[in-house]
Amino acid sequence: MQHPAPALGDRSLFPTLTARAYLHHAGISPLSTPVLTAMSEAAADVAARGSEAFGTWGEQREQLRHTLASLVGGRAEDVGFVSNTAAGLNAVAWSMPFECGDRVLLFDGEYPSNVSPFLRAAERHGIEVELLSLEPFAAPGGADFSELEAALKRGARLVSVSAVQFQSGLCMPLSEIAARCHAAGARLCVDAVQACGAMPIDVEALGVDYLISGSHKWMMGPDGAGFVSIRPDALAELRPAVVGAMSYQGTLDMLMAGPGHLRYDHPPHTEARVFETGMVGTISFAGLGAAAELLGRLTPAAILDHVLEYGDRLETGLQERGFASLRTADRARQSGILAVVPPPGLLAHELVPALAARGIVCGCPNGRLRFAPHWPNGFDEVDAVLEAIDAIRA
């Protein structure tokens, strides 16, 4: 099926979207017509051909591996498929060859998926977890690395951080963090689910060792699909703790090459696909493929420019109405998320349903009112958002 070309500020590929302004892409994105079509075609093919469709959609996933690699600046062989961001973070946390006394540095205020796996690994392996503050990275004059540097001097095996903070939208200085980690002998793990698809990422240039992202936020794909991108030298250090038949080379020979191929001593994959333990969601990854193709046509750099301008316009109107913006003034540290604190008398968790009733969909993590536009959002929506807020206050 031929679909219209994607265009910034044009939501024609979302004809069934009911919201006047859908600004919750930091939570769950709606599915475009190309994504729905790809998922329907995959489901119909499996319904018609069963196992014979396996090869067709296996080839689609191999192409997707290349697409995702180009999207994050890595290599196709460094990309592995997982079910979601938490699954990828758990794969790293449980596969690190931790020894008793090792230290992991995390950040207070992160989304739980980027904290909980390492806390559980700490319980199992007897490692120490230190929670650092995010406030120094939001300093008006630029990020302050002194607390991180001091913690690294005390020793660390791994640092895990989100590329973009889900509460404030703060874009973290990954290249500077990576340089300090590597100088101290530590690896850097990045939860990129709030960044992938809406801003340029280059794992090679940034020096990220482990990058993990899901599909259902800024990638604008379905849930149940995610990926990791792991540098080869960092992958070589891991000892995969959760494996399955597909984690090993030559497993499929027993199904296709006659008798004598059922073995349990196949070598594990030496690429990131070692984390693909079994069947992956054919339908979900077909949808992710279509979503990633749209992002590649628009380019994350152009998408970022678009959502930043949308945020500028909305931020100005909200500040005029007494909302306090949590967005840094430093353009280089801004993302697609605009988080604000309502003025006295208004509560974010009460504003969200009131706005939804007026066709404005947004979120409220930890008491912040969070707006997250994406490439389909048009600037004309800003007036509708502000009018809805005025109506609620009235």
Residue-wise pLDDT for 198-256, tens only, equals: 999 999 999 999 999 999 999 999 999 999 999 999 999 999 888 877 777 877 777 77
Q: What are phi and psi of 230, to 5 degrees?
A: -125, 130
Q: What is the mean pLDDT of residues 76-88?
A: 96
Residue 346: Cβ within 10 Å count = 17
Of 55-59, 99-103, 128-132, 148-152, the one with minimum mean pLDDT is: 55-59
Q: What is the mean pLDDT of residues 384-388?
A: 98
Q: What is the mean pLDDT of residues 152-173?
A: 98
Nearest partner of 21 among 366, 368, 356, judged by Cα: 356
- How does the average pLDDT of the chain come out, rounded? 94
Question: Between these two residues, 55 and 160, which has the higher pLDDT value?
Answer: 160
Q: Please give the torsion angle defined by the CA atoms of residues 284, 287, 289 and 290, in that order, rounded to the nearest 10 degrees.
A: 180
Distance from chain centroid for Cα 54: 27
Task: Give buried/exposed letters for 300-338 (b at 16+ CB in 10 A, else e).
Answer: beebbebbbebbebbbebbeeeebebbbbeeeebbbbbb
The full set of domains in the chain, from first to last, is: 44-295 (3.40.640.10), 300-393 (3.90.1150.10)
Q: How confident is the model at residue 258 (pLDDT cuts 50, 70, 90)?
A: confident
What is the structure's pLDDT at 1? 61
Element (H, E) at 64: helix 54-72
